[in-house]
Amino acid sequence: MTEDLYTLMRILTRRRSCRSFSLDPVDKKTLQILSDAFALAPQAGGDRDLHCRFITDQNVIRNLADQGQEAFAAHCQSITSSFIQEETARYGENFFWFGEAPVLAVVSCRNAPAFLEKSAGQKAPLIWGGELSAAMASFSLLLAAESIGLGACCLTGPLSVWHEMENLLDISGRDTLVLLIALGHFSS
Ligand SMILES: Cc1cc2nc3c(=O)[nH]c(=O)nc-3n(C[C@H](O)[C@H](O)[C@H](O)COP(=O)(O)O)c2cc1C
């Protein structure tokens, strides 16, 4: 095994989703490293206008989680079948815990163009590859976070209320929110 492969396997083996963080802030230099790791991943077509925006204001993160939770509760209430309502509510128990994370990375990409949606229908996003490129870039960020001793967890659950999330996060109509990544130092 080469030294590079050994290091890679060690980081891959050690990585776990982290959902509880210390209160220590993450400095700008560290966020820049994560941003660089995100940007180094391959992208479909070489450019899907991927964005990874870091929110570090604790009030903004908490407010986003609270408002998301509220919208999700309203969404559950609007479901008429009690079985589906209960299952959805249970499924959503792990969606809005990120309010206490010191950093929230907001990952978005450009939507598939209209011509592709017309010609390929439902499969357009897969062919376009924007969301898959965003997922690859996010994994690159996760590995960088792990290698510098930061905890992280991806979240797509909050997209259950994607309309509210995209509004709150000011994602433009030509883009789509792909996932959130809660980040911070491990709590001891
Ligand atoms: C695309 C994606 C979406 C995820 N969404 C959520 C989520 O909404 N809430 C959550 O608590 N964890 C979420 N996770 C974390 C998974 O639950 C976690 O990766 C999985 O249980 C495996 O555990 P590990 O990451 O510790 O290996 C998500 C992970 C991925 C890759």
Query: What pLDDT digit, counting tens, does each position of 89-102 carry?
Result: 999 999 999 999 99
Indicate the domain borders of the chain.
Answer: 3-185
User: What pLDDT is recorded for position 56?
Assistant: 97
pTM above 0.75, yes or no: yes
The CATH architecture annotation of domain 3-185 reads 3-Layer(aba) Sandwich (3.40)
Per-residue pLDDT band for 12 (boundaries 50, 70, 90) equals very high
Looking at residues 123-146, what average pLDDT do you find?
97
- Atom of ligand 1 at shortest range from CA of 158: 8
Whether pLDDT at 188 is above 90? no
User: What pLDDT is recorded for position 70?
Assistant: 97
Taking CB atoms within 8 Å and a gap of at least 24, the contacts of 62-68 are: 62/99, 62/100, 64/99, 64/104, 64/165, 64/168, 64/169, 65/96, 65/97, 65/98, 65/99, 66/96, 66/99, 67/164, 67/168, 68/95, 68/96, 68/158, 68/161, 68/164, 68/165, 68/168
User: What pLDDT is recorded for position 106?
Assistant: 98
Q: Whose CA is nearest to atom 25 of ligand 1?
A: 17
